Amino acid sequence: MFCSNCGAAIHAGMKFCNTCGRPIDPLAAAPAPSVTASAAPAAATVVPSAKARARLEKHLKVLGILWIIMSLMRLIPGIFLFFFKDIFAGFMPGPARLFFLPMAGFIGVLLVGTSLAGLAVGVGLLERRSWARVLAIVLGIISLIHMPFGTALGIYTLWVLMPAETEREYRRLAGAA
């Protein structure tokens, strides 16, 4: 018999799959393949998992690096806006200054906060941390509104990390690291 989730071999009397941990339903498990056709199904069940793992490892590295670069690009104006807002406010009339100072401080804090979260996501994806996938998906959704580069990064993040197959492979990679 083979696991219906990951395709690993299941031996008689097993209650859970040793590979993915899924409970084994003896009525729903597929029968073992015949001896003559054993090579083809084994290759068919191993290859998609290996392809998915290789695809995910390649994209996680690229995604982590892109998140770090994008976060550094957002960090610079955030720090500049937060710390140097008083210089720009000196050139404004009184009523505009009263509006500009709190707004510039808020936007600066927002940019610095999202940049630090993006740096954490980039490092977490490169180190295969279990929390990094969820935080990357959340930041990917948020970054969709930041045209054009944030939108591209958000779409790429969601394309890489959202599929259910990716979730299983990421958990395996995070558990192995």
Beta strands per DSSP E along 78-164: none
Looking at residue 21, its pLDDT comes to 77
Q: How confident is the model at residue 155 (pLDDT cuts 50, 70, 90)?
A: very high
- Inform me whether the pLDDT recorded for 106 exceeds 70: yes
- What span, in angstroms and rounded, lies between the C-alpha atoms of 78 and 1? 57
Domain residues for the domain of 88 are 52-176
12 lies in some domain: no
Looking at residue 157, its pLDDT comes to 96
Looking at residue 10, its pLDDT comes to 80
* pLDDT tens digit sequence for 115-138: 999 999 999 999 999 999 999 999
- Inform me whether the pLDDT recorded for 154 exceeds 50: yes
6 lies in some domain: no
Looking at residue 54, its pLDDT comes to 78
Pairwise pLDDT comparison (97 vs 51), residue with the higher score: 97
**Mean pLDDT for all residues in the chain:** 83
19 lies in some domain: no
96 lies in some domain: yes
Pairwise pLDDT comparison (121 vs 53), residue with the higher score: 121
Count how many domains the chain has. Answer: 1
83 lies in some domain: yes
- What span, in angstroms and rounded, lies between the C-alpha atoms of 145 and 149? 10
Please tell me the pTM assigned to this model. Answer: 0.67
42 lies in some domain: no
DSSP state of 22: P
Instruction: Point out the least confidently predicted range of 17-21, 30-34, 130-134.
Output: 30-34
Which residue's entry shows tokens 């993915």?
20
Long-range contacts of 164-172, Cβ-Cβ distance < 8 Å, separation of 24 or more: 165/52, 166/52, 166/56, 167/133, 168/6, 168/20, 169/49, 169/52, 169/53, 169/56, 170/56, 170/60, 170/128, 170/133, 171/130, 172/53
90 lies in some domain: yes
Looking at residue 176, its pLDDT comes to 72
The CA-to-CA distance between both ends of the chain, in Å, stands at 30
- Inform me whether the pLDDT recorded for 5 exceeds 80: no
- Inform me whether the pLDDT recorded for 39 exceeds 60: no
Rounded average pLDDT over 98-107? 89
